[in-house]
Amino acid sequence: RPAVRIRDVHKSFGNTEVLKGIELSVPKGSTTCLLGPSGSGKSTLLRCIAFLEETTSGLIEIDGDPLGFADPGGGRSRTRLSAGDIRRVRAKIGMVFQQFNLWPHMTALGNVTEALVTVQGMKRSAANEIGNQQLARVGLSDRGHHYPSELSGGQQQRVAIARALALSPDILLFDEPTASLDPELTGEVLNVMRELAETGMTLVIVTHEIGFAASVGQKIAFLDHGKLLLDGPPAEIFGTP
């Protein structure tokens, strides 16, 4: 079964319907790139997958666990997951944002390990070991003791990726991860994502980097005005070169 299955998802803010019946499935171990003009609903869809927004109707299945609202014949009832189930499902999902959201008063290693210690209750030494591994994975082994203000934007975003990876998510979501970076720093973040894709992680990436999407995405989904206009392999969406 797919890592994520989105079934007839609608989302409104007040009277404005922002997602209009999205159907999409994200195969396990694949990279899906979500493209579309600004305001088309990409970020909202990603936030629904990450539990940061609740759908207005429709279901989002995370590895088979249904979140959201079933609609049995016009009714509307929230799927019944226990608080424990919700926590378990949530823990499967990591997210990286456009703004890196690092804690400024903590070092890179501190940022990466904070949740391991305070949320997961891990011993500091064990957390540091994982943190150093993940910093190495994003090419920042030598930056663990640096504060965010001492790092470039590209390095800060790589710390944010290491922080998400440290929690070992099954699915990693990226919301325009390079949009606030200078062009010369974009490449290093795209390279890290490319390497993660090659390891067979399940990635969903909202991006305006069409070249990256075409070469790394196994699936391209194109949103416009809250509807999924296109959904298929890059060769189908962009044409075979």
Residues 143 and 151: beta-carbon distance below 8 Å: yes
Residues 220 and 232: beta-carbon distance below 8 Å: yes
Q: How far apart are alpha carbons 70 and 59 in whole angstroms?
A: 7
- The window from 25-33, 80-88, 143-151, 230-238 that contacts ligand ADP (CB under 6 A) reads 80-88
Q: Which residue in the set 24, 41, 157, 159 belongs to the binding site for ligand ADP (CB under 6 A)?
A: 41
Name, in order, each residue with C-beta under 8 angstroms of 75's C-beta and a sequence gap of 6 or more. none
Q: Which residue in the set 6, 26, 31, 42 belongs to the binding site for ligand ADP (CB under 6 A)?
A: 42
Q: Judged by CB under 6 A, does residue 78 bind ligand ADP?
A: yes
Q: Judged by CB under 6 A, does residue 76 bind ligand ADP?
A: no
Angle at 146 between CA 144 and CA 148, to 5 degrees: 110
- The window from 38-46, 109-117, 125-133, 195-203 that contacts ligand ADP (CB under 6 A) reads 38-46
> How many helices (H) and strands (E) are present in the chain, helices listed first?
8, 11
Q: Judged by CB under 6 A, does residue 183 bind ligand ADP?
A: no
Rounded to a whole number of angstroms, the minimum distance from the CB of residue 229 to ligand ADP is 13
Q: Judged by CB under 6 A, does residue 9 bind ligand ADP?
A: no
Q: Which residue in the set 30, 56, 57, 79 belongs to the binding site for ligand ADP (CB under 6 A)?
A: 79
Residues 23 and 8: beta-carbon distance below 8 Å: yes
